[in-house]
Structure 1
Amino acid sequence: MGLLTGLRNSISNFFTGGQKQRRIGIYGPPNAGKTTLANRIARDWTGDAVGPESQVPHETRRARRKEDIEIERNGKSVTIDIVDTPGVATKVDYTEFLDHDMEKDDAVRRSREATEGVAEAMHWLREDVDGVIYVLDSAEDPFTQVNTMLVGIIESQDLPVLIFANKIDLEESSIQRIKNAFPQHETVPLSALEGENMDEVYEKIAEYFG
């Protein structure tokens, strides 16, 4: 550890009361709004974004990290690194990308990169995160193999987890459907795109991960 890094950590520990910095993984299926949420959190507290947002599935094909985000709500605070992970799927089919006007070679390359990204996301989950924000599209059916598998792995790792029901701005959104799918975990509704209910999001992050 360099002198400047050590000094910075000492100063950080002084102002956070020696509180451990948490590495929080943002997980969920493709197109649930993980990167939109990661960018919303990062912009609200640091002014910077984490990565590009897109309607193309598997746009995030490598884990991206934003460090030193200090969140304060109701007298509680937590300093976190957020890790925006690739959407996890049981299979990445290159034909998904053909629907977005890509050439076949590009589609095959992106599907290969997305598959590697899923493996990386699973590695982070098993080795390198202290807690999980699990993002679901509240307009979609949460009862899927991927969601059941991932939540089960998170539980087996004994990691604190918050379920975020995203896209409540959509007419077909159903928060109750997500609550019914995972009643053992608290569900927080939000729209990362519109910034709806972000106060509660930050309250829960500070409470669960602090």
Structure 2
Amino acid sequence: MGLITDIRDSISSLFSAQDPKRIGIYGPPNAGKTTLANRIARDWTGDAIGPESHIPHETRRARRKENVEIERNGKSVTIDVVDTPGVTTKVDYTEFLEHDMEKDDAVRRSREATEGVAEAMHWLREDVDGVLYVLDSTEDPFTQVNTMLVGIIESQDLPVLILANKTDLEDSNVRRIENAFPQHETLPLSALEGDNMDEVYDKIAEYFG
């Protein structure tokens, strides 16, 4: 009996020593992906991942925070948090002109953002083990981009948790997101205020542990 127990312990130790799961944070521009990534990183490592901004496509390259260890209910899961650029069908440089940028800077940023979208799609198809899909709960979730991305995630058979962000705003409508993707679990949160992050961490440990 002791030998069997030792073997079980050895197997358990072997699997617990596996590489961290790469968890991609996906969603449309300005849904609050970087705010969430920074919230997770600060809560568990003390460091942020990248700058947050109200300007669309502030994140134009995937950024990664490695070995984020989350402990919930006696269970520990180690993940690499991958903050990806917001995915959209088209990046128009005029979006940046609305934020008082010079045309040359706007064109450069739009080119970088377009390259970032391609990089995000590559990560999704090749390099992530699970997805936190972030949506702005004040916006209509029934878009071509959301339908496409959720479809790709499903085709890759990746575990996905949908997060209805910005519940601190008056126009938040979590039910609309739940109805848009009823096949997946949706959690409400405010990444900015930290509301409901405990439940988010519980689900991260459950889904990706």
TM score, norm. by length of structure 2: 0.92
Q: Aligned partners of 1:204 and 1:19: how far apart in 2?
A: 20
Which residues in structure 2 correspond to 1:1-210 (within 5 Å)?
A: 17-210=16-209
Structure 1 residues 15 and 48, CA gap change in structure 2 (3 angstroms): farther
Gaps of 5+ in 1: 1-12
Q: Aligned partners of 1:17 and 1:141: how far apart in 2?
A: 40
Q: For the Cα contact (< 8 Å) 1:92–1:114, is it kept in 2? A: yes
Cα deviation, residue 20, structure 1: 4.0
Cα deviation, residue 75, structure 1: 2.4
Deviations 1:54-85 (A, max 9, x none): 00000000000000001111222210000000
Q: Aligned partners of 1:137 and 1:37: how far apart in 2?
A: 12
Q: Aligned partners of 2:153 and 2:13: how far apart in 1?
A: 32
Q: For the Cα contact (< 8 Å) 1:133–1:161, is it kept in 2? A: yes
Gaps of 5+ in 2: 1-11
Cα deviation, residue 16, structure 1: 8.4
Deviations 1:112-159 (A, max 9, x none): 000000000000000000000000000100000000000000000000
Structure 1 residues 202 and 15, CA gap change in structure 2 (3 angstroms): farther
Cα deviation, residue 53, structure 1: 0.2
Letter in 2 for 1:26: I
Letter in 2 for 1:64: R
> Matched residue of 1:45: which SS?
helix
Cα deviation, residue 14, structure 1: 6.2
Cα deviation, residue 18, structure 1: 2.1
> Matched residue of 2:25: which SS?
strand
Structure 1 residues 75 and 16, CA gap change in structure 2 (3 angstroms): farther
Q: Aligned partners of 2:141 and 2:104: how far apart in 1?
A: 32
Aligned residues: 198
Structure 1 residues 70 and 173, CA gap change in structure 2 (3 angstroms): same
RMSD: 1.4
Q: For the Cα contact (< 8 Å) 1:76–1:207, is it kept in 2? A: no
